[in-house]
Chains A and B, each alone.
Chain A
Amino acid sequence: MVLVHDNFVKHFEPLKHGKMNNDDFSKFADKFVDDSHNLLNELEGKLLELEQDTSNQELIEAVFRAMHTLKGIGGMFGFDAISAYTHHLETIYDKIREGFLAIDKSIFEVTFASVDHLRNLLGDQDVKDPQLAARHSELTQQLENLAKSKQLYYDQIKTIENTKKTKETIQMSTWYIQFTCSEELIRRAVNITYMFQDLAKIGTYTIFKHTGKLDYEINEQDEVWGILLTSNVSYSEIEEVFMFVSDFVKIARHSNFDTNTQEAELDKKKEHLSIFELAQSAGEKLERGDALPDPAEMTNEQQILRRSSKIPRISVGADKLDKLMFLVGELFTTRSELVIASQSDNMAQVKLATEKIDRLSSQLRKNALSIRLVPLRELTLKFKRLIRDLSSQLNKNIDFEIQGDDTELDKNLVDNLADPFMHIIRNCIDHGIESPEERNAKHKPENGIIRFTAYQSGNYIYIQISDDGRGIDRDYIRTKAVEKGFVQHGTQLNDREMLDLIFMPGFSTAESLTQVSGRGVGMDVVKRAITDLRGSVEIETEKGKGTTFTIKLQQTIAIMDTLLIRSGDSYFTIILEEVEVCELENHQTFDKRQNSHVQIADDLIPYVSLRQAFSIEGTTPETERIIVIKRPNLHYAIVADSIVGQYQAVIKPLGSLLKRKEYLSGASIMGDGNIAFMLDTQKLCSKIA
Chain B
Amino acid sequence: MERTKNKHKNVFLSFRLGKETFAVSVKKVLEVLQKQHITEVPDVPACIKGVINFRGDILPICDARLKFNMIVDPDEEKYVVIVLDLENNNQKMRIGAIANGVEDVISIDETDIRPIPEMGLKYNAEYLSGMIKSGEGFIMILDVDKVFTNDEVGEITKVTSEQV
Contacts and interface: CB of A to CB of B under 8 A. Distances in A.
A656 interface: yes
A658 B41 contact: yes
A667 interface: yes
B91 A570 contact: no
Interface in A446-505: none
B58 A655 contact: yes
Interface stretch (A136-144, A257-265, A641-649, A673-681): A673-681
Contacts of A615: 42-43
A606 to B, nearest CB: 19
B70 interface: no
Contacts of B151: 657, 660
A654 interface: yes
A399 B95 CA distance: 50
A661 B43 contact: yes
Interface in B75-112: 91, 93-95
Contact of A655 (B2, B42, B93): B93
Nearest to A654: B58
Of A303, A570, A657, chain B has the most CB atoms within 10 Å of the CB of A657
Contacts of A664: 41-42
Given A615-B43, A657-B48, A658-B44, A652 B58 contact: yes
Q: On chain A, which size bracket covers the interface?
A: 20 to 34
A667 B41 CA distance: 10
A656 B58 CA distance: 11
Interface in A545-575: 569-570
A653 B93 CA distance: 11
A216 interface: no
Of A652, A653, A656, A677, chain B has the most CB atoms within 10 Å of the CB of A656
B56 interface: yes
Given A655-B94, A655-B95, A675 B53 contact: yes
A654 B60 contact: yes
B151 to A, nearest CB: 8
Contacts of A653: 58
Given A615-B42, A674-B39, A675-B39, A657 B58 contact: no
A663 interface: yes
B93 A677 contact: no
Contacts of A674: 39
B136 interface: no
A614 interface: yes
B58 A661 contact: no
Given A652-B58, A667-B58, A675-B51, A657 B42 contact: no
B60 A655 contact: yes
B95 to A, nearest CB: 6
B58 A569 contact: no
Contact of B43 (A569, A663, A669, A673): A663
Interface string A623-663: 00000000000000000000000000000111111101101
Contacts of B48: 657-658
A352 interface: no
A677 B41 contact: yes
B42 A658 contact: no
A569 B40 contact: yes
B43 A570 contact: no
Nearest to A666: B58
Nearest to A687: B43
Of B3, B53, B151, chain A has the most CB atoms within 10 Å of the CB of B53
A611 to B, nearest CB: 10
Interface string B137-164: 0000000000011010000000000000
A669 B58 CA distance: 8
Contacts of B62: 657
B57 interface: yes
A660 B151 CA distance: 10
A291 to B, nearest CB: 25
Contacts of B53: 669, 673, 675
Contacts of A614: 42-43
A616 interface: yes
Of B2, B56, B58, B59, chain A has the most CB atoms within 10 Å of the CB of B58
Contacts of A613: 42-43
A218 to B, nearest CB: 15
Contact of B93 (A303, A657, A661): A657
B41 A669 contact: no
A658 B43 contact: no
Interface of B: 2-3, 37, 39-44, 48, 51-53, 56-60, 62, 91, 93-95, 148-149, 151
Ordered nearest first, which 3 A-B pairs have the shortest CB separation?
Answer: A614-B42, A675-B39, A657-B60
Given A615-B42, A661-B43, A667-B51, 11 more contacts: A652-B56, A655-B58, A655-B93, A656-B93, A657-B93, A658-B51, A661-B41, A669-B58, A675-B53, A675-B58, A677-B42
13 contacts: A569-B40, A614-B42, A652-B57, A653-B58, A654-B58, A655-B58, A655-B93, A657-B149, A658-B48, A664-B42, A667-B58, A669-B53, A675-B51
